[in-house]
Amino acid sequence: MILPPLTLGMLGGGQLGRFFVAAAHEMGYPVWILDPDPNSPAGLIADRHLVAAYDDYAALDELAQSCAAISTEFENVPAGTLDYLDKFTAVRPSAKAVSVCQNRIAEKNFLRENDLPHADFAAVHCEQDLREGSTGLFPGILKVARFGYDGKGQAVVAGSDEALAAFQHFKGETCVLEEKLMLDAELSVVLARDEGGRIASFPTVENSHRKGILDVSLVPARTSDALRRRAADLAGKIAERLGYIGTLAVEFFVVGGELVINEMAPRPHNSGHYTLDGCISSQFEQQVRALCGLPLGDARAHSAAAMVNLLGDLWYESAPAGSRYREPDWSKLFAFPGLKLHLYGKHHARPGRKMGHFTVLDTDPDRAREKAMAARAAIGISDVP
Ligand code: ADP
Ligand code: MG
């Protein structure tokens, strides 16, 4: 076991890294962050921030020498970086598990090979692949295989002409084309798996998106018990097959009452932010525990919860003369006694950028949702999609 006051390392300095630092600090561990952005939210509160690229080997050496164990909050860290660090110190999750989750083709092949339910797809390396491999996949969604997030690098395509145009728009980057499904709902499961293979799943979450970005998460998901359990079972199976150690998130579609696996994230997840306030252990505490070889914490929820994302759009007040940049009036949110506000300390708000979130706790998800919607209206988020 890696115990305090040994130092932990984190690749990536976004809000997920920042919550990891906070959890580790509470538990007595100093944390070093590696992130090229000098203003990264986690770097600002870390014990040391190495401002360097993910393939800067001098910085990686320094990190490996100082940290008893290293994890990642950013799935696009080069697998070579994780492999290199692994020679000197404990790295969890493994480079292999991260590399499956960071490439949509590897991810979909993994699901197919393991007989796990997924949308029909074809890998698209060139225009020829689109002409030959796209039969039966329209209407479809063309997604770049790497570096897509929050709906970026995706295009809904009605047929092969549109798919070709989208592929050219993505500059011929490797893509997957998948069938566009009719979604009844979207769910996610965040779990932690330790080195002994024990799994602790957080309650299944119901998610709604706006413009491809997570908007609201509700817990417990308003589906049957059986479907919630089945989602947790499938997520557990994925973690096992990946030999995963750490916090893992799995996104699901519900289609005709059945689950389809959308994608995995080898890290804590936005839809698991409710665990900070609504569960006995948070997804970040579990990440620390799994990384350090500690027994996993209790993942039970003590409340129902509704989580609302706060995007940079909120900083722009629309006025007849154009939009004005100003700080939102946070007193409007602090007025709600059961509401927990989390701001990530990002220096500049851009539309679509995740700046913070809040969680409302209650005894049932509908009541939590109602209050969260009232709070959302109070801070000025309109309900028009
Ligand atoms: P990201 O990495 O941006 O989260 P996703 O693949 O999860 O990418 O897609 C973002 C959102 O787009 C999903 O949450 C879902 O709402 C919608 N979406 C993605 N794939 C499909 C699909 N095959 N059919 C229907 N909707 C989809
Ligand atoms: Mg997604």
| CATH architecture entry for 185-378 | 2-Layer Sandwich (3.30)
Ligand 1 contacts (CB < 6 A) are 119, 141, 143, 148-151, 178, 180-181, 183, 186, 209, 212, 251, 262-263
Spans of all domains in the chain = 8-91, 120-179, 185-378
- Whether a cis peptide bond, with omega within 30° of 0, leads into 295 is no
- Indicate the SS3 state at residue 124: strand
89 Cβ partners below 8 Å, 6+ apart? Answer: 9, 64, 67, 68, 69, 70
- What are the φ and ψ backbone dihedral angles of 356, each rounded to 5 degrees? 180, -175
The count of residues in the chain is 385
DSSP 131-181: HHH-TT--SEEEEESSS--TTTTEEEESSHHHHHHHHHHTTT--EEEEEPP
Asked whether the CA dihedral 82, 86, 92, 93 is positive or negative, the reply is positive
- Indicate the SS3 state at residue 204: coil
Q: What is the largest CA-CA distance in the chain?
A: 60
Structural contact between residues 130 and 163, judged by C-beta atoms closer than 8 angstroms: yes
pLDDT at position 384, please? 62
Half-sphere exposure of 77 (CA within 13 A, CB side): 35
Half-sphere exposure of 98 (CA within 13 A, CB side): 24
- For residue 135, which amino acid is it? T
| CATH architecture entry for 120-179 | 2-Layer Sandwich (3.30)
| CATH architecture entry for 8-91 | 3-Layer(aba) Sandwich (3.40)
Residue of 144, 253, 309 to mutate, ligand 1, most atoms within 8 A of C-beta: 253
Gyration radius of the chain's alpha carbons: 21
- Please name which of 284, 287, 378 lies closest in space to residue 339, comparing C-alpha atoms: 378
Q: 74-81 long-range contacts, Cβ below 8 Å, gap at least 24?
A: 74/11, 74/12, 74/14, 74/16, 74/17, 74/267, 75/101, 75/102, 75/265, 75/266, 75/267, 76/102, 76/146, 76/147, 77/11, 77/12, 78/54, 80/55, 81/11, 81/54, 81/55
Q: What percent of the chain has pLDDT over 90?
A: 92
- Indicate the SS3 state at residue 203: coil
pTM for the whole thing?
0.97
DSSP 304-368: EEEEEEEEGGGGEEEETTEEEE----THHHHT-TTEEEEE---SS--TT-EEEEEEEEESSHHHH
Instruction: State the binding site.
Output: 104, 143, 148-154, 178-181, 186, 209, 262-263
pLDDT in tens, 233-288: 999 999 999 999 999 999 999 999 999 999 999 999 999 999 999 999 999 999 99
| 209, two tokens | 């998106």
CA of 143 to the centre of ligand 1 (A): 9
User: Could you say which residues of the chain have pLDDT below 70?
Assistant: 319-320, 384-385
Integer Cα distance of 359 and 380 in angstroms: 16
pLDDT at position 79, please? 87
Residues around ion ligand 2, judged by CB within 5 A, are 251
pLDDT at position 385, please? 53
- Please name which of 279, 307, 299 lies closest in space to residue 218, comparing C-alpha atoms: 307
Structural contact between residues 192 and 71, judged by C-beta atoms closer than 8 angstroms: no
Residue of 101, 102, 108, 154 to mutate, ligand 1, most atoms within 8 A of C-beta: 154
Structural contact between residues 67 and 1, judged by C-beta atoms closer than 8 angstroms: no
